Structure 1
Amino acid sequence: MEFALGKLFAAVTSPGNLLLLLMLVGLITVLARRRSGMVILAAGLFPLLIIAVTPVSTWALLPLEERFSKPDLTMISPVDGIIVLGGALMPIASREHGAPQLTRDAERLTVLPGLMRRFPQARVVFTGGSGDPRYPDDREAAFVLALLADWGVDTARITLEDSSRNTWENAVNSAPLLKTGEHWLLVTSASHMPRAMGVFRSVMPDVHITAFPVAYNANRTEADRFGLNLTDNLDRFDNAAHEWRGLIAYRLAGRIPTVLPSP
């Protein structure tokens, strides 16, 4: 129930959906009360214009993506294991097309062959089930081994955890696979890393976790660039809003110690 309500809340509060609903209410109100309707309509259009023209989406993402730096792997030894969080594949599209379909977060998987070669003794855990309550049987982990086998990866080293639906469950369900005192790399998208690190540290405080962020979606070059690009900017802003919303929700639920966990 909590998972389904969380998904519903996320859909309603997604910036694009929220502004669209606001403008729709304003348009309907215009028919009855022109002045009030225009105010509501403007309240939806103005933020949309700000997102389209300014780099506010980049500003919202950078504090998340820069929170944890990518480590110097030559300075890390030993590495007992690598945890990869789901989000790199589209389970429903993969099932329909009969082949793994990658998302914009595909780097969560594409870095794995290189990491496995660098740390040949490391165990690998891929944790990712179904993130869509409407399709609980379409699980990302089901397609991972086939894809990695095509890339020449030794899939015998990989343990699949396919029941997790969110970041909290990623950590809780992976915990029994990790041992006290071990050193693990945690691979996930840079914007998602603060929440992921906060959760994994809370769930398994006796395991040493090192962040390995990937799939960056913002950069400082564009932090002062203005223009007109609603499609990309809204996508980035929605990504940032999703992560900030998740951080606040997890802090209120007591799952992470602070709103923005530190390195």
Structure 2
Amino acid sequence: MFFFLSKILFFLTTPIVWIFGLLLWGILTKKDILKKRLLWASLICFYFFSNAFIADEFVRAYEDRSITYSDITKTYDVVIVLGGFSNFDSKQNLIQFHSATDRLMAGIKLYKTGKAKKIMISSGSGQLMNPNEKEALFIKSYLLDIGIPEKDLIIESESINTRENAVYSAKILNNEYKNGNYLLVTSAFHMPRAKSCFTKVGLSITPFSVDHQSGPRKFLFDHLFIPDSDSLRRWQMLIKEWIGFTTYKIMGYC
């Protein structure tokens, strides 16, 4: 039930839904004063959430800036890579990688460069319409195909959210690598919630953030003033994380 409710809440808290709702209400209302106010509100809302400079500032303030490759001076038992970066196209028999694929690439590099002895993929299916498409399983096949030995892979394919990533990963790791040291890899915007969840279940993790959505502060004309469609996506992502982190705190998950 929590999973379904979270998907509905995510939809309702998307800025573009607010903009569309205000615009539609403004078009349909017969009250002239209210119509004008609603249309102005939709325009202001659109400009605020599509402004790249404003989006950058909010995302930068929330993202986790953790260690870099050069900061790692020891070998960890396992690098834990959280999913949410791909889906499987059964018609083409191909994995479709998304923007957060930095998570997987970083995990592979940390393993290949000897920073971690093993790779763990933690991801079941986060899809309402396709619950049997378990990301960790088809990513396991991909890793085997590129030459990573099965003995160095740990697969957790039952989790459907960050809380379950932590709980199910802990069950596996506490059984096989009691009191181990782990690198946790996920997107920088997702890391505050993820590291809190993994710490809550008693795992000793070192966060390794990737897929940063904000860069250096820029004072260019287009960045400051011209609407940017990607900023709407980043706000959608950020608001989802704010709600997710707050909800997890209330429920005692992190």
C-alpha separation in 1, matches of 2:187 and 2:131: 23
5+ long unaligned stretches in structure 2: none
Matched, 1:16 2:16: yes
- Residue 224 of structure 2 corresponds to 226
AA of the residue aligned to 2:169: S
Whether the 8 Å CA contact 2:108–2:119 is kept in 1: the answer is no
Matched, 1:146 2:141: yes
Matched residue SS, 2:217: helix
- Residue 81 of structure 2 corresponds to 84
Of 58, 61, 66, which aligns to 1:60?
A: 58
Whether the 8 Å CA contact 1:127–1:162 is kept in 2: the answer is yes
CA positional deviation for 1:121: 6.4
C-alpha separation in 1, matches of 2:162 and 2:132: 18
- Residue 196 of structure 1 corresponds to 194
Matched, 1:211 2:207: yes
Residue range with higher mean Cα deviation, 19-28 or 164-173: 19-28
Give deviations 1:2-42, integer Å, cap 9, x for gaps: 1101111101111122221222222222xx22221222232
C-alpha separation in 1, matches of 2:192 and 2:211: 14
Whether the 8 Å CA contact 1:27–1:38 is kept in 2: the answer is no
C-alpha separation in 2, matches of 1:139 and 1:27: 43
What are the equivalent positions in structure 2 for 1:20-169 lying under 5 Å apart? 20-29=20-29, 32-53=30-51, 55-65=53-63, 67-72=64-69, 75-91=72-88, 94-119=89-114, 122-169=117-164
Superposed CA RMSD in Å reads: 2.0
C-alpha separation in 2, matches of 1:173 and 1:158: 16
The alpha-carbon distance between structure 1 residues 248 and 182, as it changes in their structure 2 partners (threshold 3 A), is same
C-alpha separation in 1, matches of 2:115 and 2:137: 24
C-alpha separation in 1, matches of 2:183 and 2:161: 19
C-alpha separation in 1, matches of 2:135 and 2:72: 32
AA of the residue aligned to 2:143: L
Give deviations 1:202-246, integer Å, cap 9, x for gaps: 112xx3200011111111233774031331111122121121221
C-alpha separation in 1, matches of 2:245 and 2:86: 23
Greater per-residue strand proportion: 2
Whether the 8 Å CA contact 1:68–1:194 is kept in 2: the answer is no
Matched residue SS, 1:164: coil
Whether the 8 Å CA contact 1:88–1:108 is kept in 2: the answer is yes
Whether the 8 Å CA contact 2:122–2:159 is kept in 1: the answer is yes
TM-score (norm. length: structure 1): 0.87
CA positional deviation for 1:120: 7.3
Whether the 8 Å CA contact 1:168–1:199 is kept in 2: the answer is yes
Residue range with higher mean Cα deviation, 115-124 or 165-174: 115-124
Aligned length: 249
Matched residue SS, 1:18: helix
The alpha-carbon distance between structure 1 residues 35 and 215, as it changes in their structure 2 partners (threshold 3 A), is same
- Residue 235 of structure 2 corresponds to 237
AA of the residue aligned to 1:19: I
Whether the 8 Å CA contact 1:59–1:223 is kept in 2: the answer is no
C-alpha separation in 2, matches of 1:116 and 1:144: 15
Matched residue SS, 1:80: strand
C-alpha separation in 2, matches of 1:35 and 1:141: 54
Whether the 8 Å CA contact 1:64–1:192 is kept in 2: the answer is no
AA of the residue aligned to 2:181: H
